[in-house]
Structure formats: C-alpha cells, structure tokens
Amino acid sequence: MRNATISRVVPSSIPRPRVVRVRGRSMEPTLHEGDLLLTLWGARPRRGCVAVVHLPPDRAGADRPVSVKRITGPDPVEGSRWWLDSDNPREGVTSFDVGSIAPDDVLATVVARLWPRPGKVSTRHTG
Amino acid sequence: MRLPALFSVTDVSAHCDLPCGVYDPAQARIEAESIKGIIAKVADNDDPDFRTRAVLIKEQRSQLVKEHLWVLWTDYFKPPHFEKYPNLHTLINEATKLAGASGTKGQFDAAKADELLSKIDEIDAIFKETKQA
C-alpha cells in the first residue's frame, strides 16, 4: 500500500536528506501551505517531533497522501506505535481519526524550514 | 547520497480529509440555549398558535442537541479519551436524556434546560482538554 517511489528513496538505515513542500493547513501555526522543509528520511522519530508519515488508507480503502504530522508520543495502549496529531486542532487527520501508526510508517523527520523564514522546526511536548 | 532525491521536492499533505475533523460541543450548546429561550418566551405568551410552534421547534432543537452530542460521542471521542475520562460515557448519556422526552423535549421546564446546558459545559470542558493534549 505504501507509495513505492518514496519508500525506495531510503534503501538503507542511514538517514538521507530530502526537501518536501507542505500542502494544506493542518500543521498551522507551525507550518504553512507552501513551506519548504528539510527532512531526514529514515531518521528515528522522537516524542514531540514533526514527521513525514504514511497514514492508513481511508474508509473506502483508498491510500491517503504522504502527510506531515506531529508525533505526540507512543500510543497509550500499544507503546510500540506512534500517536499522531495535527498542530491545527480544526484541521487534519490525526490518530484520533485513524489510530496510531507503526514505526515503519514514519518515513522521515522534519529538521528545519528552508523557506520562507528558515529555521529549526522544534519538537513540542504536549499533555 | 543520491543528489536527485535531495533536489527534487515531494509534496507532503497537511490537508483536511473526510471525516473533516471539525467538532465542537458549541453546536449542542447553541441548540440548548435556543430551547431555554423558547421555554422563557412561552411562559410569557398565551397565544395558542405561538405555543404550538414553540412545542414543535423545541422538539426539533432538542433532537438536534442529541444528534450533535452523538456525533461527538461516536466520531470525535476515541478510546484513549474514554480511558482518560471514565465519566464521559455517562455524561453524554445523561445529557442526551436531558434533551429527550423526560427532559427538554417533553417539558417546558427551564430547570431542565439549565441542567442540560451545564452537562454540555462538562462535556465541553473534557473536549477542550483533549484539544490541548
């Protein structure tokens, strides 16, 4: 089900840099439509980080696009899985909608915004 | 490192999706406030036509309160929420009962409307905490 082109970008365990562009508003106010981000593909996520993730398919069985989300921490029930949230509480699919994701579904971690306003995209600890 | 991968840009989605993810107990509260207003207006009005309309509209608004709360219960709140707030099921059950035939739907009792509003506020407090988490 995974987007084959993207998963093949990281054939080994060494994290690789890649530039991605944000589409949509679910990560406002941290990230905005059109932001260019430096990401590390294959990097291990940490609690509170922003990550590029593979979401479960929707109810109709269709793949969801590769997405950028906040990893709030481990799933409270299944500690080996990650819980996702959007930074914008009014938008976006989160683990409250689709459940937590397996470690392999975390494709990359977001390191920094390259444009506009270059800067580190920091981790945030919530609840 | 594969340079083409670094210099090509991949779109990553931060989009809304269905279900849209927009939920707010404010919807239920507005209907409950409307019910309270209807009860107050009927108390000052003996016109039979007005009272008939008030009965009908109060019935509809009470049903809307139930439906908005059910949507929160089934679509917004998830197992981790129910685990963290064990009284949540009971709160929603009590609130929807207060909007039913034994509550604002079947009676012109301002106290029932106030009870309903305070139950919705309790649900809203939990909702807001889950949004901050």
B102 is in which domain, residue-wise? 24-132
Q: In a mutagenesis test of the A interface, which of B2, B8, B13, B132 is the best target, namely the one with the most A β-carbons within 10 Å?
A: B13
Give the list of residues 6+ apart from residue A71 with CB closer than 8 angstroms, or none.
Answer: A45, A46, A47, A48, A49, A50, A51, A53, A82, A83, A84, A106
Rounded to a whole number, what is the distance in Å from the CA of B12 to chain A's nearest CA?
A: 5
Question: Residue A29 sits in a domain of what CATH number?
Answer: 2.10.109.10
Instruction: Give the span between the Cα atoms of B38 and B59, in whole angstroms.
Output: 11
Query: CA–CA separation, A48 vs B36, rounded Å?
Result: 43
| Digitized pLDDT (tens) for each residue of chain B, 133 residues in all | 455 666 788 888 887 554 556 788 999 999 999 999 999 999 999 999 999 999 999 999 999 999 999 989 987 888 889 999 999 999 999 999 999 999 999 999 999 999 999 999 999 999 999 988 6
Q: What is the DSSP string of B26-74?
A: HHHHHHHHHHHHHHHHHHT---HHHHHHHHHHHHHHHHHHHHHHHHIII
Structural tokens at position B61: 């608004």
Residue B105 lies in a domain: yes
List CB contacts (< 8 A) between B7 and chain A: 19
Residue A36 sits at the chain B interface (C-beta within 8 Å): yes
pTM of the model: 0.52
Mean pLDDT over A41-46 rounds to 92
pLDDT of residue A98: 87
Q: Which of B8, B131, B6 is nearest to A111 (CA)?
A: B6
- Residue A12 confidence (pLDDT) above 70: no
Query: Tell me, what's the pLDDT at B4?
Result: 63
Whether residue A82 contacts residue A71, with contact meaning beta carbons closer than 8 Å, is answered with yes
CATH of the domain at B42: 1.20.120.400
Name the minimum distance, in Å, from the CA of B128 to any CA of chain A.
Answer: 10
A126 inside domain: no
Gap from A27 CA to chain B (nearest CA, Å):
6
Query: What pLDDT does residue A127 have?
Result: 45
